[in-house]
Amino acid sequence: MANQRDLFPTPFVIDNLQSDAGLAMLREAIEAERTRDSKGLSISNFGGWHSNTQMLEWGGEAAKALIHKAMTMADEACVDIKSPDANRFGWVPQMWANVSDKGDANQYHTHPGSFWSAVAYVDDGYERDTDPGLGGELQLLDPRMPMVRMAAPDLHLKDAAGRPVPSEISIRPQTGKIVMFPSWLQHAVRPFHGEGTRISIAINLTAALKRSR
């Protein structure tokens, strides 16, 4: 009997933020920065508000705690193969906020130069409505891009468990959820149609050798 194995898995990590007070502090800091700089930036976003990338400077202690959470997740998901018992690498973080209303979205993109990227949801904007038609899902695209352009798009490979391998997965945001994935993985956000306001925080972590003491 043939023995099937899966090559080159792409890990991603999902966890939850435990502090309601911390989420409230993040919301307050983001609302204050949006008032100060209402124009924001336009990068991958279609509509919505994208802050500058200096949230660690204006986000307060809650932003620092969130970065610590993300770096802990990154440490747990990596191994330094030349020094498995004492990781020689640390993380250089970058952080910004996104605020989305009905119709806003983000196009597919990557974060070149970073190692891990993450998104944390301060408010999913669904207002407890479970209707899947509200959209706004985080999309992660199979990095083997030619697969989705093959001549038989309905014919999918099976994984080792016999399940069809998708070319794209959707993750529905949830207040307090944090999702981390490799920065080279293409990702997007489907148009959001909720009645509330989506508030999320994006994080990039760049790997850097620790300084010798």
For residue 149, what pLDDT band results from cuts at 50, 70 and 90? low
- Say if 33 falls within a structural domain: yes
pLDDT at position 159 is 85
pLDDT at position 166 is 86
Domain limits for position 202: 13-79+89-209
- Say if 3 falls within a structural domain: no
- Say if 6 falls within a structural domain: no
User: Of 6-10, 46-50, 124-128, 201-205, where does mean pLDDT reach its minimum?
Assistant: 6-10
- Say if 171 falls within a structural domain: yes
Residues 44, 205, 94, 185: what is their CA dihedral angle, to the nearest 10 degrees? 0
Q: What percent of the chain has pLDDT over 70?
A: 97
- Say if 70 falls within a structural domain: yes
Buried b (16+ CB within 10 A) or exposed e, 125-145: bbeeeeeeebbbbbbbbbeee
**Domain harbouring 160, CATH code:** 2.60.120.620
Instruction: Work out the end-to-end distance of the chain between its first and last CA atoms, rounded to an integer number of angstroms.
Output: 55
pTM passes above 0.85: yes
CA 168-165-200 angle, 5° bins? 30
pLDDT at position 1 is 73
- Say if 84 falls within a structural domain: no
For residue 161, what pLDDT band results from cuts at 50, 70 and 90? confident
